[in-house]
Amino acid sequence: MIEMDDLALARKLHWVNQVARYAFERGDLTAIVFGDRRITWAQLQKRVVAVSSALVERGVGPGDRVALLMGNQAEYIEIMIAANRIGAIVVPINFRLSVGEVAYTLDNSGSAVLVMDEQASTTGIAAVAEAAGPVQVFQLGSESTNGATSYDVLLSHSGPGAPVDEVDEAQSALLMYTSGTTGRPKGAVLTHRNLAAQSTTNLVAFRFEMHDEVSLCAAPLFHIGTIGLVAPSILVGATMVILPSVSFDAGALLDVAERERVTSTFLVPTQWQAVCDEQGRKPRDLSRLRVSSWGAAPASDTLLRKMGEVLPGASSLALFGQTEMSPVTCVLEAKDSRRKLGSVGRPAPGVWARIVDPDMVDVQPGEVGEIVYRGPGLMTGYWNNPEATAQAFAGGWFHSGDLVRMDDEGFIYVVDRAKDMIISGGENIYCAEVENALAGHPDVAEVAVIGRSHETWGETPVAVVSLKPGAAELTLEALRAWAGERLARYKLPTDLVLVDMLPRNASGKVTKNALRTTADTLPA
């Protein structure tokens, strides 16, 4: 029997309703595949109702924040839907963060609940102990750790299901934390309408087919890019195949893609290179793969040519964007990927983009300016940060911080990142955040963090340091060990360059452009 008998409620377009609809219409078909587990739409809905009802009994309701600290799991999706079903807001947290970073996110978001897996349990428990506010903690599985309640307790709820909250499209669904130049993460508030807009963009870009789509989620689910693929998958009733959060294994990915008859997936270029090498060595049947999308870093002409040879039936699609836009803003279609090499494409449907100078005047084609956005995917603002929100929305447009140029055909090329960001293996690393952490080392007088090109990861962070007078010789190993208590491992510098002083311009600012120019030849 269909649960939603309220006509006004049933008209709402969000993933809470979509899961309920597919449970009613095609409940015996597969919604999620994770390893050997296969969860149907009816089973997913049953689990969603149980978890949401159990949370209501524990005092969780509309507007409360439910944080997730875990690797990829089938439960990730059901918890997001369950929390949104009762009007709560989901806070995905990168499980690679340090205890202090997780504690900050819990405090800043005011999360009432933390759901974690066993892998993240040590960090999660320590972060909750460090956080200022009370947090209910649940751990996946039947076992509990250090006072955490088993997630199975939520799943075993057997009473009447709590009624669906009056969830509107304009209501907040996600609180996605993204670092900025200040070094402190900011929470971008994304609504169900934002996710619907992202779904529209991806439905057009990926050409999703109704009831015949098998989407492979290989990237971490705490990334908005992956969630941005989950949303349209739920909209069209696609099967979502989720890979676990382990070291990337091209052979394992290809085996899953062949077995599950995957039709589309997203990987970063370094992963596609590994996939092409493995497919060339041991071909799998990928005849169902229609879209091989990529982003987060540029793809070379050599790689694009290789993808065309090894994956002849798949269209190569590039995506570009940022968390605050839910996230895709530009799409580079397969037919343009090689003739417009280096471009991030043209604005996606529904995205209104301008390239402006500091006075918000449009620049001419070929000139460099900041790309600013409007559109239905745009966040409502930064969580409890009106100053940052006002700055981001200055002039009535969202300021991306990306410096770009547009050619005479409307294709956009990123020239620089005003937010000083390094992309390493698809992960965003913000220099200011790393610098703030390293600057606290007792032997460090000054520090600048820059990106150095890396054959495997695209870029890697390098710390350029001047020592305090009388300080002992500082080694990379010692600096990483010290910083590892304050930063996630992937943010740690992979090289240390010691200098007498950092180069500065006439106004006293460190001239990072000069450091970047010579980044690949700096003495180690």
All structural domains of the chain, each given as residue ranges with its CATH number in brackets, are: 16-167 (3.40.50.12780), 193-417 (3.40.50.12780), 421-517 (3.30.300.30)
The answer to whether 241 and 218 have CB atoms below 8 angstroms apart is no
Higher-scoring residue by pLDDT: 432, 407: 407
* pLDDT tens sequence across 262-295: 999 999 888 998 999 999 999 999 999 999 998 8
Task: Say how many C-beta atoms besides its own lie within 10 A of residue 57's C-beta.
Answer: 12
The model's pLDDT over 411-460, given as tens digits with 9 standing for 90+, comes to 999 876 666 778 888 887 877 778 878 888 888 888 889 888 888 888 89
Take residue 468 and report the two structure tokens written for it: 């305090």
| Rg of the chain, C-alpha, whole Å | 23
State the average pLDDT over residues 340-368. 94
Using DSSP, state whether 211 is helix, strand or coil.
coil
Task: For residue 214, report the phi and psi dihedrals to the nearest 5 degrees.
Answer: -125, 105
Mean pLDDT, residues 484-492 taken together: 90
- Residue that the structure tokens 């529209």 belong to: 200
Parallel, antiparallel, or unpaired: how do β-strands 186-191 and 381-382 relate? Answer: antiparallel
pTM of the model: 0.83
pLDDT in tens, 303-340: 899 999 999 989 999 999 999 999 999 999 989 988 99
Query: What's the mean pLDDT in 72-80?
Result: 98
Over residues 137-166, the mean pLDDT reads 83
Strand partners, 316: 292
Q: How many CB atoms lie within 10 A of CB 463?
A: 26
Cα–Cα distance between 153 and 169 in angstroms, integer? 30
| Mean pLDDT taken over the chain | 89
- What mean pLDDT is predicted for residues 88-100? 95
Residue pair 176/224 in contact (Cβ under 8 Å)? The answer is: yes
Name the pLDDT band for 341 (thresholds 50, 70, 90): confident
Residue 126, φ and ψ in degrees, nearest 5: -65, -40
299 and 343 in contact (C-beta within 8 Å)? no
For 211-239, write each residue's pLDDT tens digit: 789 999 999 999 999 999 999 999 999 99
Instruction: Indicate the burial class of 359 (C-beta count within 10 angstroms; 0-12, 13-18, 19 or more).
Output: exposed
Banded pLDDT at 181 (limits 50, 70, 90): very low
Residue of 216, 247, 228 whose CA lies nearest to 80: 228
Give the residue-averaged pLDDT of 208-212.
81
Q: What is the pLDDT of residue 164?
A: 65
Share of the chain above pLDDT 70, in %: 93
- The reported pLDDT for the residue numbered 506 is 41
Per-residue confidence (pLDDT) for residue 128, from 0 to 100 = 97
How do beta strands 239-242 and 30-34 pair? parallel
Tell me the C-alpha distance between 232 and 316, whole Å. 19
Instruction: Map tokens 């807009």 to a residue.
Output: 197
What token pair was written down for 236? 């069209």
d(CA 294, CA 205): 12
Question: Nearest to residue 257, comparing CAs of 229, 278, 273?
Answer: 278
How would you class 11 by CB atoms within 10 Å of its CB: exposed for 0-12, middle for 13-18, buried for 19 or more? exposed
Q: CA torsion 342→346→253→261, rounded to 10°?
A: -140
Closest residue by Cα to residue 399 from 418, 414, 386, 413 = 418
Note if the bond before 327 is cis, omega within 30 degrees: yes
Contact (CB, 8 A) for 176 and 323: yes
First to last CA, the chain: 67
Does the structure show a pLDDT above 60 at 505? no
Q: Rounded mean pLDDT of 140-149?
A: 83
HSE-CB at 24 with a 13 A cutoff on CA atoms is: 12
What does the pLDDT look like over 106-125, one tens digit per residue?
A: 999 999 999 999 999 999 99
Asked whether the predicted pLDDT for residue 180 surpasses 50, the reply is no
